[in-house]
Copies of this chain bind each other. A is one copy, B any other.
Amino acid sequence: MTHTYPYARPALAVDCVVFGLDEDDLEVLLIRRDLEPFAGKWALPGGFVRVDESVDDAARRELSEETGLGRVFLEQLYTFGDPGRDPRERVVTVAYYALVNLSAHRVKAATDAREAAWFAVTDLPRLAFDHDAIVAMALERLRGKVRYRPLGFELLPPKFTLGMLQRLYEKVLERPLDKRNFRKKVLSMGLLEELDEVEQDVAHRAARLYRFDKKRYRELEKEGFDFEL
């Protein structure tokens, strides 16, 4: 069945920049394209919006279909609408970014058997379409937001050490942070719950584990509290 309209319509797609944090790096999840254009090149997971689903739902569906990722933090980033961005035809894409806790979410083989892999943001290959620009904007958004919203915690396991939290901020902001100042600032917000547990299976001295107190944050937010790190 074909669909006919009185005026030409751009195709509408979604693309997702999925960030994860491993031991060493802030990483982005990429899919290797097997079809032209850009066959063999790495690209963001994504696809076309169906006419009966919301754009948000399309992003979640594509993420799930192409990477197996389910309930993760996902937020709209920006809509990229230059006429030349896809050599086949006019495609406007609504870009999203997702934050994934790598310890909980393994990326399974994509359903259509395409190759999926994590790349350090500091060492990305040249991407298909305008996906370089989309990743650059997602990084900028993440860098800006991580300082005044508690979304960095989405990249950590539920229980984490202060060292892990500092490393997260250092990787996202791409600069070293002073340990004493960082800890003082973090703890003074009163948003971390100190647990009666320490790290397991570590070679160095096991550090104390903490949990982000989401409920307390929501309360403070209502009172006009500004998160800032």
Contact = CB atoms under 8 A, between A and B. Distances in A.
A71 to B, nearest CB: 20
A6 B2 CA distance: 5
Contacts of A37: none
Given A76-B78, A79-B55, A82-B54, A4 B2 contact: yes
A218 interface: no
A12 interface: yes
B83 A52 contact: yes
Nearest to A90: B51
Nearest to A14: B81
Interface string A72-92: 000010110111000000101
Copies of this chain, tallied across the complex: 2
Interface in A1-25: 2-12
Given A9-B9, A10-B12, A49-B81, 5 more contacts: A3-B8, A7-B48, A9-B11, A58-B81, A76-B79
A219 interface: no
A51 to B, nearest CB: 4
A58 B92 CA distance: 13
Nearest to A11: B9
A115 B10 CA distance: 30
B76 A54 contact: no
Given A78-B76, A79-B76, A51 B94 contact: no
Interface in A153-200: none
Contacts of A3: 4-9
Q: Which 8 A-B pairs have the closest CB atoms?
A: A55-B81, A8-B51, A9-B9, A3-B8, A4-B4, A79-B79, A54-B82, A2-B4
A6 to B, nearest CB: 6
A76 B82 CA distance: 13
